[in-house]
Amino acid sequence: MSEHTPPDGGDPIRVTDSMTGESQVFEPTDDDHVRLYYCGLTTSDPPHLGHARGWVHVDVMVRWLRARGYSVDHIENFTDVNEKIVARIGEAGADERDVAQSYIETIIAAMRGLGCERASAYPRVSEHIEEIVALVERLIDRGHAYAVDGSVYFDVTSFESYGDLSNQAVDEMESQGDPDERSEKRHPADFALWKAGGVDPAAIADHRHDEAAPADEAVDGAQTWASPWGEGRPGWHVECSAMSTAHLADTIDIHVGGQDLIFPHHENEIAQSEAATGREFVRYWLHVGLLETADEKMSSSLGNFATVAEAIDEHGAGVVRTFLLSTAYDSRATYSAATIAEARDRFETLRRGYERAQEGADSVAAFATAPDDDLRDAVADARREAHDGLNDDFNTRRALAALEAATRAVNRHVDRGAPYDYQGCRDAIALYDAIAIDVLGLPLAVAAGGDADDLVDDLVELLLEVRERDREAGNYDRADWVRDRLDELGIEVEDGDGGPTFRRA
């Protein structure tokens, strides 16, 4: 069997599948079409940098797949059914959809603040209750689930490969879910697909930010739905199975989530999805490493997190995004003053390199171009290394290192002084555009001031002033040469009574 070739005809992409632990050639179900699902957030707290790490790496994965010619359906869910959300409803005294929507808007704003492109869809659990109930019914019909007093549990012993993702044996697993559920279960590891009744007031109290919030009557009946087993709400794990199937297919190509979700969440997703459809659920599992502060993972529950908005305000979006991409997605990363300082230096190095390459290409001295083989070779090598890195399990660390190598070559070239290598500088700019900006999503152009067009206009006007002086001095040959060179660069000069004017062709 021949190795899969991406749509652009280049080298294949390899990914490290969490199920096997091995590097494999990425081959989607459909040759040119990728279905990617990312486990999104619960809409109950502002997003922190640990969440942002997943978003940014998934954003790069999608950008690189598209750059290689694939069409990508990227689905990221919002969990808007949860004890935490009911607690927020009580605190706010507001409609549950309004509470969830306010958090969703905060989350999407944070994603956009970090330069993440929008997903194809952001499904909400509350909008997929019908699909969830249908999935639970199918599992009961197939003998993989059972109902007890209005709740429904998945029978883990009915699914032979349960535990394969997390490398655990069923008999050694401890109970999942609430302690009160244990007496209802056939096996301690069975998990809830549907939970009877409303949310336990004690669970609501555990998740409140404000102990002086309104009484529990304010949330009476919140987040419960009718079902064949009575009033209740879905279990956490079944939600993603229903939404991924509804928006993608029974089999999806890439499923991404945090390493802390491998068990029980992703293990349970596999069991319930494959038991319901009889098909492979996910071709490649990719898990994002945890972000730590000191020796702890960053999390809302530990209260040791920096929100995305706070981090952007303090450091800038470019620095934060560079920090998040400075470590391979599947490795652990540490958030500290030192690692942020390193990211700031790296981002400023790339920003300045991009700016200097533009200066070299746009400079008057570029008109007397002087080819620099060292610059051109370094840029070509950096492009190959960046491509190799991104093809190697979306290794952003390698891509950043390649860009830094190209930047060193740009700096050496510009530091030597005029004349500059116009084509070499343009090659460097193309590399920054294609990899740093379009794939890694770094805001180099914005960081450079966003005024590049104004700078070019100023330089053209300066050239026209020099040209006018040449004409006044009778140096028509050089004046014509300036006009012709500007025309070659796409700038048309028109001489009029009020002096020369120009426009971009």
Cα separations (Å) of 13 from 7, 188, 431?
Answer: 11, 40, 20
Looking at residue 263, the DSSP 8-state letter turns out to be I
Q: Which two tokens stand for residue 410?
A: 């740009």
Which residues contribute to the annotated binding site for Zn(2+)? 39, 240, 265, 269
Extended beta strands in 139-251, E state: 145-148, 151-154, 191-196, 232-234
Q: Between vectors from CA 212 to CA 299 and to CA 303, what angle results, nearest 5°?
A: 15
Helix (H) or strand (E) holding 16: strand 14-17
Alpha carbon distance 388, 390 (integer Å): 6
Alpha carbon distance 110, 104 (integer Å): 10
Which residues contribute to the annotated binding site? 39, 240, 265, 269, 300
CB hemisphere CA count around 88 (13 angstroms): 21
Looking at residue 321, the DSSP 8-state letter turns out to be H
**Helix 267-277 with 129-141: angle, nearest 10 deg:** 70
DSSP string, 333-396: EE-SHHHHHHHHHHHHHHHHHHHHHHHHHHSGGGGG----HHHHHHHHHHHHHHHHHHHBTS-H
Which residues contribute to the annotated binding site for ATP? 300
Query: What 3 state SS string does 53-114 have?
Result: HHHHHHHHHHHHHHHCCCEEEEEECEECCCHHHHHHHHHHCCCHHHHHHHHHHHHHHHHHHC
- Give me the count of residues in the chain: 505
